[in-house]
Amino acid sequence: MNENGGNGNFTRNNLIYRSTDGGNTWTNTYTGPAFQGAHRTNSGYFACMYNSPAYWRHMGWGEPAAFNHVVSYVYAASNPGNNDPGDVFYIRSTDSGVTFSAPFQLNSNTEATKGQWQPNLSVSDAGTLFATSTPCYQMHARKSNDNGVTWLADDTLSDVASPLPLQGDPGIQPLYAGDYDYGSSILTKHVTSWVDGRNPINGASQQDAFTDRELVGFAVTTTTPACNSIINTQPVDFIINLSDPVDPATVQATDFTVNNIAANSFALSNGNATITFHFNSSPVVTQGPQTMHIPANAFNRASDNQGNFEFMCDFCYAITPLQVTTTNPPVGGTFSPPAPGDYQYDVNFNQAVDPASVQTSDLTLTGNVGGSVTAVSLVNGNTTARFTVHFNFGGSVTASIGAGAITAVGCNPNAAFSLKTIMT
C-alpha cells in the first residue's frame, strides 16, 4: 500500500506486485485508485482507530491471497461522506493481479459510529476464502466457497464482545494493538488470530491473543499423484484424500475423471475418508499436463450430507527430466576471437523444449563485467537453444540457467545448470 507520507494525510493507494521467478524479482502489476484509509485520528505518521487519546495504529492495509491465478485482497477505508471511520472492502483479480474488480463491502454493519479495520484473508487449496476484521469490539468474518465470486453472510467469529484491549506495558509502543494478525489456511481449515480485552487484570482490560478456525468444507485435501507434481509413469489408480468421511452410497466411479475420461471403479479406505479410483487402462497417454477433476456435489459428507467442493488440478507426465547435456563452447572452452565481440553459445538439451518457454533472460552470465545475452533462437528440432552473448572484456564467465526456467512438453522443467567458460 502507498501510504502517501502519512502524518495526517489519509489518502491511500493499493499496490500489487507479482513475482514469476520464485521471489527473486517483483513487478508492480496494479496500482489502485486513491481512497481514504480507515482512521479516526493520527499520531505522528500513523493513522489511529481511536482518539482521545490516539490508539490502535492502522493505515488501511489488509492481506492478499492467491489461488489458481485469482488474486484477492481486503483492505479498510473510511467514508468521508458520513464520517464512518472504517469499512472493509474486497477486490478480486482474475488475471494474476493486473486488473481488479470494483470494491465490494464485506462488513454488513454500516453504523457510522462503528468502525471496522485490520482485515485479514486466507485462501485454501479448495478455493475457499475466509476474511476477518475488527469491529468495535468483536471479531467478524465472511466466507466465500467459490474463490471470491460470492460470499456467505457476515457472521461473528470471536465468541464474546469485549472491552477495548488496552496497552498497559510502558515498554511497548503505546499505539500498537493487534498488528499483523494475518490469516492462514492449512489443509482443512482457515486459521486466524486477534487480541481482545475479555480478561481484565486489576479491573483493566489487556491485550490477550486468541485464535480460532473455520473449516474449509467438504473438500479434497491431497491426491496421488499430487497436484502440480511430475510423474514418469502411467498410473491406473488415483488416490483422493478427503477432509471428512464420505457417504459411500453417494460415490460413483464416474465422479472422478482424468483428461475427461471417467474412472471404471473405486474403493474406499481410511474410514471412508480416502477414495481410490481405478481405470482399466491409464488415462495418462501423452506426455504433458494432465487434469484431474471432481465436480461440485458429486458425493456427500457422511456427517451432514454436505456436497463436496469442486476439485480440479493438474499434474505433469514426463518420462525423462529435462536437462542440459552439452554446450558449445564446452565447460572450460573458449570464445574466439578475443573480446570484445558477439558470440554464439549453444545449449543442448536431452529433448525438444517448448519454444514459448525460452527467452534471453533464461541465461544468466556472471563473473565478467558487461556480459549480456542479446538474442536466442531454437535449432536442431528445438533441442538446442542458441544464445547470442556479448562481452566487452576477456576473462572467465559463468553461464547459468535456473531450475524451471525452460520446459518441455508443456510442464517438464529443466534442472538447474551452471558452468564456467574461459574467454580469451
Q: For the residues 206-226, what does the mean pLDDT come to?
A: 89
What residue has cell string 473510511? 78
Written out in words, the top-level CATH class of the domain with range 324-422 is mainly beta
Please give the sequence-ordered ranges of beta strands (E in DSSP) within 274-383, or none if there are none.
Answer: 274-278, 288-294, 311-317, 324-328, 341-349, 363-366, 372-379
CA distance 82 to 78: 9
Range from 210-219, 338-347, 365-374 carrying the lowest mean pLDDT: 210-219
What letter represents residue 343's amino acid? Y
What are the residue ranges spanned by the domains of the chain?
A: 11-215, 220-317, 324-422
Res. 135: pLDDT tops 70:
no
Tally of CB atoms within 10 A around 370 = 11
Full-model pTM: 0.64
Please give the pLDDT value at position 376: 98
Please give the sequence-ordered ranges of beta strands (E in DSSP) within 26-152, or none if there are none.
Answer: 27-31, 35-36, 41-43, 46-50, 55-57, 63-67, 70-79, 84-93, 104-105, 116-123, 129-135, 140-144
Please give the pLDDT value at position 143: 94
Is residue 134 very low, low, confident or very high in pLDDT (cuts 50, 70, 90)? confident
Res. 407: pLDDT tops 80:
yes
Q: Do domains 220-317 and 324-422 have the same CATH topology?
A: yes
State the architecture of 220-317 in CATH terms.
Sandwich (2.60)
Evaluate the omega torsion of the peptide bond into residue 103 and state whether it is cis, within 30 degrees of 0: no
